[in-house]
């Protein structure tokens, strides 16, 4: 089983022709499936851009959404759209509503979007304001306190979904790949190879999902969890526990790449 990993492909920066060229480039890796860890496009273009990406593919495309995928909309309506897309286009599967994907008898794939939840670094005091806080309706809030509250609510909900999915996946599988957009640990949230500063970390980490991962990995010492994430656009590979590893992908806007192709044995 060959699984190709893409992240932060930001297709809204590409022309239709460039999307087709990139899709062909992915297909040349001859994957049996593709996983995309978010920031695929922006809300109004997400469905059409995903359709263009998979148009000539035969393999399934499992994906989670990143913060950019919600730009110009609210969370509930984007999620309704992704569920609908997964229903009508058999190659496209939004992972939170897909459940546990058995890639091989021993390896499973699960995923949740994840949200920067302001819990790591200086969430109260940071002067960093992201476009998220202006362009995603749920995060457009009158105060820092309300913003943190909204972000935490979203992150906690995804962490609960992940706990359920991981519980189901870890019982019959030795190895579970978790797709999520926002790095779940400080150690995995880097800029130019160094851990981000306390001003950026609140918006570059999802602590709620990190806590869930740590607990599940600790409870299942004979299982292995590999987390694939994006959002930082910086490559990082870090072991959090002996059986819990996180990888993030390096990306430039307008120049999407295949991060890795995993060869999964039986
Ligand atoms: Fe991104
Ligand atoms: Fe992002």
| One pLDDT digit (tens) per residue for the chain, 266 residues | 999 999 999 999 999 999 999 999 999 999 999 999 999 999 999 999 999 999 999 999 999 999 999 999 999 999 999 999 999 999 999 999 999 999 999 999 999 999 999 999 999 999 999 999 999 999 999 999 999 999 999 999 999 999 999 999 999 999 999 999 999 999 999 999 999 999 999 999 999 999 999 999 999 999 999 999 999 999 999 999 999 999 999 999 999 999 999 999 86
From the candidate CATH numbers 3.60.21.10, 3.40.718.10, 3.10.20.30, 3.40.50.1370, the one assigned to the domain spanning 2-263: 3.60.21.10
182 Cα: distance to centroid of ligand 2 (angstroms): 7
**CB of 39 within 8 A of CB of 14?**
no
237 Cα: distance to centroid of ligand 2 (angstroms): 18
- Picking from 46, 159, 80, the residue whose alpha carbon sits closest to that of residue 112 is 159
Distance CA 261, CA 5 (A): 6
Angle at Cα 6 formed by Cα 28 and Cα 217, nearest 5°? Answer: 125
**CB of 246 within 8 A of CB of 196?**
no
Distance CA 139, CA 122 (A): 18
232 Cα: distance to centroid of ligand 1 (angstroms): 7
70 Cα: distance to centroid of ligand 1 (angstroms): 12
Which structure tokens are listed for 83?
Answer: 């569920």
pTM recorded for the entire structure: 0.98
| Ligand of minimum distance to the alpha carbon of 189 | 2
Neighbours of ion ligand 1 (CB under 5 A): 8, 39
Strand partners, 62: 35, 93
Distances (CA, A) of 39 to 62, 114, 220, 230, 242: 13, 12, 30, 8, 29
102 Cα: distance to centroid of ligand 1 (angstroms): 27
Distance CA 167, CA 202 (A): 27
Domains of the chain, residue spans: 2-263
250 Cα: distance to centroid of ligand 1 (angstroms): 10
What pLDDT does 202 receive? 98
């Amino acid at each position: 089983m060959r699984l190709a990993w893409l992240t932060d492909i930001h297709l809204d920066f590409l022309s239709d022709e460039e999307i087709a060229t990139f899709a062909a480039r992915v297909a040349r890796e001859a994957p049996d499936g593709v996983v995309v860890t978010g920031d695929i496009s922006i809300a109004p273009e997400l469905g059409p851009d995903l359709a263009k990406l998979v148009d000539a593919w035969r393999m399934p495309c499992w994906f989670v959404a990143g913060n950019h995928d919600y730009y110009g909309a609210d969370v509930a309506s984007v999620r309704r759209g992704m569920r609908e897309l997964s229903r009508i286009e058999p190659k496209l599967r939004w992972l939170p509503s897909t459940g546990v994907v058995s890639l091989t008898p021993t390896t499973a794939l699960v995923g949740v979007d994840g949200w920067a939840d302001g819990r790591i670094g200086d969430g109260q005091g940071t002067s960093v304001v992201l476009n998220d806080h202006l362009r995603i309706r749920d995060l457009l809030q009158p105060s820092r306190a309300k913003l943190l509250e909204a972000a935490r609510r979203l992150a906690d909900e995804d962490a609960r979904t992940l706990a359920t999915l991981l519980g189901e996946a870890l019982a019959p599988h030795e190895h579970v790949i978790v797709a999520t957009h926002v790095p779940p640990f400080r150690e995995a949230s880097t800029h130019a190879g160094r851990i981000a500063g306390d001003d950026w970390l609140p918006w570059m980490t999802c602590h709620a999902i990190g806590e869930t991962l740590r607990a599940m990995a600790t409870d299942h010492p004979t299982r292995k969890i590999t987390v694939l994430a994006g959002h930082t656009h910086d490559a990082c590979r870090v072991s959090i526990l002996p059986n819990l590893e996180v990888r993030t992908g390096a990306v430039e806007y307008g120049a999407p790449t295949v991060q890795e192709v995993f060869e999964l044995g039986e």
